[in-house]
């Protein structure tokens, strides 16, 4: 006869409650969802193109412009700078009123 023995096991599980987001340009803590999410990369020929992808969080227009200038000053013409955020639409609407 086969006898199966069961043992009660308790495990401790850590759950991530929140995430601290800091500006990649100035280091300030971003306290709300209103920030710029930027993806940069180059499309040069070769296998290293996939390794060039970088995701950035930037807190303000000033940090965005500073980062963009620095990025394109060191470029060779095949770089891409993609900006994603809903805040940009809100700022454009506010400035055109």
pLDDT in tens, 23-65: 999 999 988 777 889 998 887 776 666 778 889 999 988 999 9
Provide the pLDDT for residue 10. Answer: 83
- Which pTM does this prediction carry? 0.64
Mean pLDDT of the chain: 80
Per cent of the chain over pLDDT 90 is: 22
**H helix and E strand count, the chain:** 2, 5
Query: With contact defined as beta carbons under 8 Å apart, do 67 and 52 qualify?
Result: no
Q: Where are the alpha helices (DSSP H) in 1-97?
A: 61-73, 87-95
Query: With contact defined as beta carbons under 8 Å apart, do 60 and 25 qualify?
Result: no
Q: What is the mean pLDDT of residues 59-84?
A: 87
Provide the pLDDT for residue 72. Answer: 87
């Amino acid at each position: 006869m086969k006898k199966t023995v069961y043992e009660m096991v308790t495990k401790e599980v850590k759950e991530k409650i929140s995430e601290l987001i800091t500006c990649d340009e100035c280091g300030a803590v971003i306290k709300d969802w209103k920030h710029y999410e930027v993806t940069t990369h180059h499309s040069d020929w070769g296998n290293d193109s996939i390794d060039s992808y970088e995701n950035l969080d930037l807190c303000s227009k000033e940090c965005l412009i500073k980062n963009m200038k620095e990025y394109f000053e060191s470029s060779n013409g095949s770089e891409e700078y993609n900006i994603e955020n809903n805040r940009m639409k809100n700022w454009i609407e506010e400035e055109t009123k």
